[in-house]
Amino acid sequence: MADPPGVVAVDAATLGERRLRFYDFAMSAFVVILICSNLIGAGKPAVATLPVVGAVKFGAGILFFPLSYVLGDVLAEVYGFARARRCVWAGFAASLFAAGMSWVVVALPPAADWNGQAALATVFGQVPRIFLASITAFWAGEIANAAVISRMKVWTAGRMLWTRTIGSTVVGQGVDSLIFYPLAFLGVWDAGLVLQVLVTNYALKVLWEVILTPVTYRIVAWFKAAEGIDVFDRGVAYDPFTTRV
C-alpha cells in the first residue's frame, strides 16, 4: 500500500510527544465497540439459514465485534504496536468497569413497585465465567493481532497491507476463539455446540476481515494522510504488560 501524498515514514521510537490528531478518537471508538459487543449478544447463540449450507449457529455478538478488530488493525498500522497496546489495555479496563457496574446495578434491591429486575438480570447479569473468558480472550487476541501487524509491516516494508490485516486476524481471532469458547461454555453447552460455534465464529470473523479489507484500506489511508505519518516498529519491545508508548 503506497502512502498518501505528504505522509512521512517514521520509526515509532521517534514519535515522542508528537501531537496525534485522531488517536484519541480511534481509541474511544475501539473501546465503545468492545463494550457494546461484550454486553449485547456475547452469550447468545443465534441461527441463520444459508443456501446450500442450511442452518448455521453462531454467537450473536459476531455481527459487530469484528469492527473492533478492524479498528485494532488501523491503530497498529497507523500508530504502531505501543499505541495499539495502550488501546487494548483501555478496552480491558473499560470492560472491568462495565462488568462491575452491571454487577452492582443488578445486585441492588429493586423498588417494590418495579417489575423489571428479572429482565435486567437477564440482560446485564453477566456470568463471571463468561466475563473472565471474554476479557482474557480479548486481551490475548488483540495483543497478538497488533504484534503480527507490527512485525509484518517491517517485513513487507509497508507494502501489501491486506497480508497484514488478514494475517493478523487469522492469528488474533484464532487466539481469541481458542481461549473464549472453551473457557466460557465448555460444560455448559454440549462440546459439539462449543466446537461448532467456535469454528463458525472464527471463520466468519476472518471472512468479515476479508470483506472489510477495502474499507480498512480507505480508513488507514485517511488516518495516515490526516496524521502525516506512517509508523514502523523497528526495534520495538513487545512487552504486553505495559501501557508505555
pLDDT tens for 54-67 read 887 766 766 776 67
Answer for the pair 229, 66: CB distance below 8 angstroms, yes or no. no
Residue with cell 488517536: 23
Q: Categorize the per-residue pLDDT at 43 as very low, low, confident or very high, splitting at 50, 70 and 90.
A: low
Phi, psi of 40 (to 5 degrees): -115, 105
Among the listed ranges 4-8, 27-31, 76-80, 83-87, which one has the minimum average pLDDT value? 4-8
pLDDT digits (tens, 9 = 90+) for 126-179: 667 888 888 899 999 999 999 999 999 999 999 999 999 999 999 999 999 999
What pLDDT, on the 0 to 100 scale, is given for residue 48? 80
- C-alpha atoms less than 13 angstroms from C-alpha of 23 in its C-beta half-sphere: 24
Residue with cell 497484514: 164
End-to-end alpha carbon distance in the chain: 25
Task: List the CATH code of the domain at 8-111+118-232.
Answer: 1.10.1760
* For residue 53, pLDDT beyond 90: no
Answer for the pair 224, 3: CB distance below 8 angstroms, yes or no. yes
Q: What is the pTM of this model?
A: 0.86
What pLDDT, on the 0 to 100 scale, is given for residue 2? 61
**CA atoms of 126 and 99, how far apart (whole Å):** 7
Contacts of 158 (CB under 8 A, 6+ apart): 1, 3, 9, 230, 232
Domain extents in the chain: 8-111+118-232
What pLDDT, on the 0 to 100 scale, is given for residue 233? 95
Look over the chain and give the mean of its residue pLDDT values, rounded to a whole number.
87
**CA atoms of 55 and 53, how far apart (whole Å):** 7
At how many degrees (to 10) do helices 81-107 and 117-124 cross? 160
* For residue 4, pLDDT beyond 80: no
Q: Sign (positive/negative) of CA torsion 108, 109, 110, 111?
A: negative
Mean pLDDT, residues 111-120: 88
Q: Comparing 40 with 9, which gets the higher pLDDT? A: 9
